Amino acid sequence: MPKAIPPIAALMLLAGCALEEKPELALACQVTKCVCMPVQASYPLKGEPVPVQWKSNGDAYCPEGYVLRRAEK
């Protein structure tokens, strides 16, 4: 059982990194479809996405508690 702990911990760390805010997506979402995913989504990414919101300068952003992600095809 103790041998399983490091791989599980590594997967949890990777899942947490996947939910970091990526500021470059604010511009990329102008030309590719994006969604806002909940920050607290579990692995694999689950949860209901919400529509992207737009600033007056054209940058995409999400409501509090959500992060930008490229939409899955």
| Per-residue pLDDT tens digits of the chain, which is 73 residues long | 567 666 666 666 555 544 455 668 888 899 999 999 898 765 665 678 899 999 999 999 999 999 999 988 7
Query: Under 8 Å CB-to-CB from 8, ≥6 apart: which residues?
Result: none
Domain of 43, in residue numbers: 2-70
Confidence (pLDDT) at 40: 77
How many angstroms separate the first and last alpha carbons of the chain?
38
Please count the structural domains in the chain. Answer: 1
72 φ/ψ sector (left φ>0, alpha ψ -120 to 50, else beta): beta
pTM of the model: 0.61
Confidence (pLDDT) at 4: 64
